[in-house]
Structure 1
Amino acid sequence: MYTKGTSKIILKKCNTILNRNGDIILFSHVDYDHLVQTVIEPMTCDDLDTICIAYRDFSSDDLPDWNNETSVIDQLTCICVCGIEDRIRSEIPDAIATISRVGLI
């Protein structure tokens, strides 16, 4: 199962991470803090939103209760953290001005 979401939230659910060689290695709280400080915070300072992409393998003999999100989104393996530039569309400032002018804000 693959998942993506806000980096800090998904990373807290990861107990392993893929290294540069594609090997799965343990991912500790210390590693989490280091990744936040050296990757996520610098991207945020560059006005990038970050997402984490992660996965978890399930054996067909031991499938989780898919209705219990807590048991499914746990023990993940982090694949990567991506920085996404989310620019304001050009029409947004005019739309906000119009809404403000008619008294909706």
Structure 2
Amino acid sequence: MSQQGAALQSYNNELVKCIEDLCSKRDELHRQTILEEEEKNRIQNDIRVLTERLAKVNESLAKKMAQRNEFDKTIAETEAAYMKILESSQTLLNVLKKESSTLKQHQ
């Protein structure tokens, strides 16, 4: 009977050790889960912050592109008007030279 008691005690000790090992593994897994949840929360927060920043940068870029397009339009219109002034000046100069020449011939 003492052999059976010793075997039963041995089984009991082994069973307790197995349960303790399982509890230890569960606790380690729980610790890792908590760490990963914290990391997940940090990453989600970073994504939120970066998404907000991206939206602000996109909005700023859109405004600046619209302003640049307005500058381009104004520059093009101004250059076209300036070219007309140059052409008119050239025409006026030619007319004046012709008139001056005509007037000199009549003297």
Task: Answer whether TM exceeds 0.5 for this pair.
Answer: no
TM normalised by structure 2 equals 0.19
TM normalised by structure 1 equals 0.19
Question: Which is greater in Rg?
Answer: 2
Q: Higher RCO, 1 or 2 (CA under 8 Å, sep at least 6)?
A: 1
Q: Determine which structure has the larger helix proportion and give its number.
A: 2
